[in-house]
Structure 1
Amino acid sequence: MVVRMRVNRSKTGKRRSHHALVAGRLITCECGAKRQNHRACPSCGKYNGRVTVDVVARAQRDAARAKRREKAMRESGQVSALDKVADTDKEKSTT
């Protein structure tokens, strides 16, 4: 590298001084779970003292979606990850 192109350590350090990552702050929700600032609680769905997310309905919707996806995979002939785990457990128990 040519000397005029070289960047010394102090210049590199000054440039990189703003590259630091800061850990996100966590606060304790009314329900006792940890959550990020300015976000709804993932366990109870409250934000600023009000329920903003229906956690039970979301869990039911996610379960139904997973069930539909599992059914579609079985109908198409693909083996799901659960079947693979069950097969390996059976092999371990027989040996």
Structure 2
Amino acid sequence: MAQPKKKTSKSRKNMRRSHDHVETPNVVYCECGEPILPHRACSSCGTYKGRQVITSEDA
């Protein structure tokens, strides 16, 4: 199996990994005021795009 000729420096290793970070999630606010992730139904009131999609006993 092939082996590297020279050691990869910490700087070069970290530059290669600069795009591997976890981005912060985008947060939007429901009509009820709860912060939720976009394109998901609100867990507290059960609405999505202004209409009720989850009944009150499920939420």
Report if TM-score (shorter chain) is over 0.5.
Answer: yes
The structure with the greater share of residues assigned to helix is: 1
| CA apart distance, 1:10 | 2.8
Aligned residues: 56
Counterpart CA distance in 1 for 2:15 and 2:48 is 40
Matched ranges for 1:14-29 at <5 A: 14-29=15-30
Identify unmatched segments of 5+ residues in structure 2.
Answer: none
Q: Which residue of 2 aligns with 1:58?
A: 58
- Equivalence for 1:12: 13
For residues 6 and 53 of structure 2, the distance between their equivalents in structure 1, rounded to whole angstroms, comes to 56
Give me the TM-score of the superposition, normalised by structure 1.
Answer: 0.51
Q: What's the RMSD between the two structures over aligned residues?
A: 1.8
Moved over 6 A (4+): none
Q: Which structure is higher in RCO with an 8 Å CA cutoff and minimum separation 6?
A: 2
Letter of the aligned partner of 2:26 in structure 1? R
> Where do 5+ consecutive residues of structure 1 fail to align?
60-95
2-side partners of 1:53 and 1:23: how far apart? 27
- Give deviations 1:48-76, integer Å, cap 9, x for gaps: 1111111x2215xxxxxxxxxxxxxxxxx
- Indicate the percent of aligned positions where both proteins have the same amino acid: 36
